[in-house]
Amino acid sequence: MPEIKIPPHSEEAEACVLGSILIDKDAIVSVAEFLRPEHFYNENNALIFQALLDLYEERKPIDIVTLKDELKKRKILTKVGGSAYLANLVNQVPTAAHVEEYGRIIKDNYTKRELISAAARITESAFDESQEATEVLDRAEQAIFALSQKHLRQVFLPVKEILAESFDRLDELHKTAGGLRGIPTGFKDLDNTLAGMQDSNLIILAARPGLGKTAFALGIAQHVAVKEKLPVGFFSLEMSKEELVDRLLISQADIDAWKLKTGRLDEEDFTKLSEAMGELAEAPLFIDDTPALTVLEMRTKARRLMAEHGLRFLVVDYLQLMRSVRQLENRVQEVSEISMGLKNLARELKIPILA
């Protein structure tokens, strides 16, 4: 008979949190910002914590007497263990000094249980033969990514701290006289118009064929990675990675493109190329030249870049060469769906995307 595994939990940590709050009314302040009743494994402990939160939000005194009264009003005192259980909670901890650490243990165990549930749903989807593997993979990554973001979610900050950060940033912008709120493109007039490329924005680069869209997009990516030192992902659906690197070298070394293509390089050119290679090698620029990518495939790769390198800017060269995961009536609908998918990706990763 297979071993039945109990989901990760710590009833001891749960009891210690509740006991800490009962012996020190200020202890709830340390955990209320990140701990919720649903994080508790024991349902009775969750009901007690909810009652404590409600007392706190209503600005009522918190102790064993007020809690007992609140649980009586809700007609759940007996259900949660009665007066004896509440007294036991008070005796559980000698001090409330470690309440936040106990709370973190509860939250970590909750995250593990959520991960187990997500894995079960993913397994069920994988067994469903009516679903495409790429769709299952996308939903799986989305579920795990959402869970990781939820686990690492920043707590509320007092406006005083945010104002201090804002003032420092505005002061720095004033001192530099050219500072931007968004990511600089390297093109002064464009930066003045956009105030830099803003997070969660999808920026469409449109022009007639042959007017240099790739060169322009690559120039922005190069500036962000080399000058700003920010991680950049570049999806090249038209050019190979070798062609892109040649363009990067020509731009970074400031040499004649014809010389590089024909191999007619002199000593000075080689010196410039050597320096350019060193600079580019240090730049956090990542290139993918897989042709005919779907938004689903691109999303998977972008999430991985975000997780591994802290992606800050993404370039797609270019949108019209992407394909939809499903058959649509016409190309206009397909491009519209792709654009919406890229916009959603920009919002999910909270980065600007140029396409």
* Residues that are catalytic: 238
Rounded CA-CA distance 113/106 in Å is 11
Backbone torsions φ then ψ of 25, nearest 5 degrees: -60, -25
Q: How far apart are CA 229 and CA 284, in angstroms?
A: 7
Q: Give the separation between CA 295 and CA 145, rounded to whole angstroms.
A: 16
Is the distance from CB of 199 to CB of 182 less than 8 angstroms? yes
> What phi and psi values does residue 235 have, to the nearest 5 degrees?
-95, 115
Token digits of residue 337: 């769906």
Strand-pair partners of 287: 234
In this structure, what token pair is assigned to residue 179?
């500072």
Neighbour count for residue 321 (Cβ, 10 Å) = 15
Q: Count Cα neighbours of 84 within 13 Å in the Cβ-side half-sphere.
A: 3
Cα-based distances in Å from 239 to 218, 235, 315, 321: 11, 10, 13, 11
Would you say 51 and 74 are in contact if contact means Cβ atoms under 8 Å apart?
Answer: yes
Give me the amino acid identity at 21. Answer: I
Work out the number of other CB atoms within 10 angstroms of the CB of residue 205: 16
Q: Show the CA angle centred on residue 257, arms to residues 254 and 259, nearest 5°.
A: 100
What is the sign of the dihedral through the CA atoms of 184, 186, 187 and 192? positive
